[in-house]
Structures are given as structure tokens and as C-alpha cells.
Amino acid sequence: MKKVRLGILGIGNIGTVHSNNILDGKCPEIELSAACDLKEEKLNALKEKSPNTVTFTDAEEMMDSGLCDAILVAVPHYDHPKYAIMAMKKGLHVMVEKPAGVYTKQVLEMNEVAKTCNVKFALMMNQRTNCIYRKMREIVKSGEMGAIKRTSWIITNWYRPQAYYDSGEWRATWSGEGGGVLLNQCPHNLDLWQWICGMPVKVEAKLHYGKWHNIEVEDDVTAYVEYENGATGTFITTTGDIPGTNRFEITLEHGKLIAEGDKLMMWRSEISEPEFSRTNEVAFAWPEIVESEIETDGKNEQHFGVMNAFAAAILRDEPLIAEGSEGINGLTISNAMHLSSWLGKEIVISEFDHEKFYELLMERVKTSRRRTAVKDVKVDMSASFGGKKEDEDLYFRNGLGRGLR
């Protein structure tokens, strides 16, 4: 195999980004052999740019066509695990757009299927290619700054006006997206937070639903976490602030790192804070601190970088940017924040109740204001809804069934 023959499932905004990257030559080891979408106008527009790409309106037909070695899943959030599972079972390599899914129960199932299939399974966590975050992780994981004491990410530059939410009936609804800022805007931030700092052991969060917009899901979040070593962290996000802030700070025993404004700054002491506090005999004393801007390699390849790594993994067994199975991590944090808000208590990650979260999410789906009938679509949703016919029916009544079969 000289090139990976890729089929893109879903030619919406992000599917078009990927197809353009391939057609523009940014992914030299990938051939756009097929594409699938329910909207003929999307397929026709693609055909104009790429006449040799075979188009489909049925996902399984595309997967069974023999035209694809790999599938990129870029459909609505609820359907990510369903189509990933379908493709993996057919022996196709899979790249899933973020998030891995809406709720952990379906993503855990997807991960279990991946273990039994001899295919590459990747997740589109393109922010992991950002030189700032790669360097930040390298420093933290090296141990040169000591153990983490505190993490803080203020990520409030996700501003969206009401017109954004009004642009699609599925937007910002429990039935359409399954969540708000945490599930739509912040999957990359939550992934980077745990990728660099590790998974928290406890989560407590306050979420506001439709605080700044006429929507039914969260648009304002303040969360507190604790780590295994006793370190603490906060995560603050919203789509209602302008101007917003994107400031990621990690305090460690030897100082701190701050990523903000495309710069990574370090404040470092040669002596660790615990040792200085223990040995110093002068009240109000500080250790000597050196401030510096950290140099990086400057590379930030984003989506096409992740796709090129995916192709290299298939062709030469090289490392992926993000293993598909890692998608459960950021989603667990997101789901735990929701569950903490709904139950009004702290959530212990090791005891996270996947079934309870699913139950409470479905309660919100039942009252979701989105009510678009999809009569011409028939999809077996058993993989996504645990075989519960009533939940599958609810899914279609609320207009979620934009699947491609």
C-alpha cells in the first residue's frame, strides 16, 4: 500500500476541512477515495473539486465498497461510536473526530470493540500538535520542575453570539449535541489538561444552563478537581465572555508554567518550594526565581498533522498523535462535571456511575426542545443506546437520526 484510501463520513464543516487538506496536497500519503453524506449538495460540491472521489448516501455501502482502507468519522456527536464500531468490525482503520462520543457508556463499548479488531484507531485531537502544549507536557512529564501542586485553565475565549446557536436546530440541545461548551468547544482543552497534568481523582463543578444565551445546555462552567498527589485544579469556561481569556497555568514544586498568547513562560527556582520552606530560616523569604520564555520547535500542524500520523501508523506502524482509546479520558472529566452539577455533589472518578449519567442525560433528551422528525432514515442504534428500543425511538423523535443509513 503506497497511499491510504480514505472515506470521509460526513461532509459538514469539519469534514470539508479534512477533504480540502487532502485535496490541497497537505496529506501526501492519503487518497480521498470516497465520501458519504445525506445531503446531495454537499456531495456534488465535493465532486466538483474531486471528480475521482466516489460518493455515497449510505455509510455501510461506502464501507463495503472496497474503496476504503480507512474511515474518518465526522458526523454528529452521538453517532461517533456507532460508525467507528461499524467500520472497525469491517476491518477498516478508524479516525474519529472529537469528541469520542457524548457519554462514557458508548465510548467504553467502542474501546472494547477496538481491542478485538486489528486496525488503527485514532482520535482527532489536533491541539496535541501545538508546539506550546507539546513542550508544556514534555517539561511536566520530565519531572525537572517537580510534582504538580496546582493547575488552572481559564478558557473563556469561546465566545458565541445567539446567532451561532440559532444557525442550526440541533445546536446547544440535549438531543442534538448532548451538551454545551464542555462537549462542543472544550473537548480539546479537557484532553490537553489531562494529557499534560494527568487525570484528576475527584471533580466538583457548578454549571449554568442557558445563562448567557437562549439555549438549554451549559454555557458557563466553573470546576474544581483534585489529583492523586493532593494537587488541586480549576477549569473555567464559557461562551458568554467577550473579550475572553485563554490562560493555562501549572504550578509545580520548582515554579510555574503559563501558556498564554502563543507563548510558554517559565518561572523556575533551583530549590524546590517544599525544600526551601523546610530549610529556610528567614521569615517572608523567597527562593531566587528566574523568569524565561521557553523555546519550542514552532510546529503546529493541527488537523493535517494528525491525519499524516494516522497514515504513517497504517503504512509503517508509526505512533499516532492520539490513540482512539484515549478519548474516554477527557469525556469522563466532562461527564463528571455534568453529573456533579446534576447531583450537586463531588464525583469520584474511579467510582463514576456510567449508567446514572446515561439515565440523567436521557431524561434531558426527553424534554429537549428539538423536535424534527426524520422519517426517511432507518438506523439500528442498538450500539449507541445499549439495545433499548425506547431510547432509540426517542433519538429519532428528537431528530437525532441524521445517521447515514
In tens, the pLDDT along 7-43 reads: 999 999 899 999 999 999 999 999 999 999 999 999 9
Tens-digit pLDDT profile for residues 190-209 = 999 999 999 999 999 999 99
Pairwise CA distance, residues 52 & 143, whole Å: 51
Cell triple for 326: 484515549
Class of domain 128-293: alpha beta
The CATH number assigned to the domain with range 4-127+301-324 reads 3.40.50.720
Q: Please state, rounded to an integer, the average pLDDT across all residues of the chain.
A: 92
How much is the pLDDT for 394? 41
Model confidence at 229, pLDDT cuts 50, 70, 90, reads very high
The segment(s) of the chain belonging to CATH 3.40.50.720 are 4-127+301-324
How much is the pLDDT for 168? 83
How much is the pLDDT for 375? 28
How much is the pLDDT for 1? 72
How much is the pLDDT for 193? 98
Nearest to 120 by CA among 64, 188, 72, 177: 72
Pairwise CA distance, residues 27 & 22, whole Å: 5
| φ and ψ at residue 3, rounded to 5 degrees | -135, 150
- DSSP string spanning 206-258? EEEESSSSS-SSEEEEEEEEE-TTS-EEEEEEESS-SS--EEEEEEETTEEEE
Determine the Cα angle at 274 with ends 268 and 278, to 5°.
125
How much is the pLDDT for 376? 28
The segment(s) of the chain belonging to CATH 3.30.360.10 are 128-293
How much is the pLDDT for 370? 62
How much is the pLDDT for 403? 33
Whether the Cβ atoms of residue 400 and residue 175 lie closer than 8 Å to each other: yes
Determine the Cα angle at 356 with ends 353 and 359, to 5°.
150
Nearest to 84 by CA among 76, 102, 19, 92: 92
In the predicted model, is pLDDT for residue 48 greater than 70?
yes
Helices then strands, counting H and E runs in the chain, come out as: 15, 15
In the predicted model, is pLDDT for residue 152 greater than 80?
yes
Element (DSSP H or E) covering residue 100:
none
In the predicted model, is pLDDT for residue 118 greater than 50?
yes
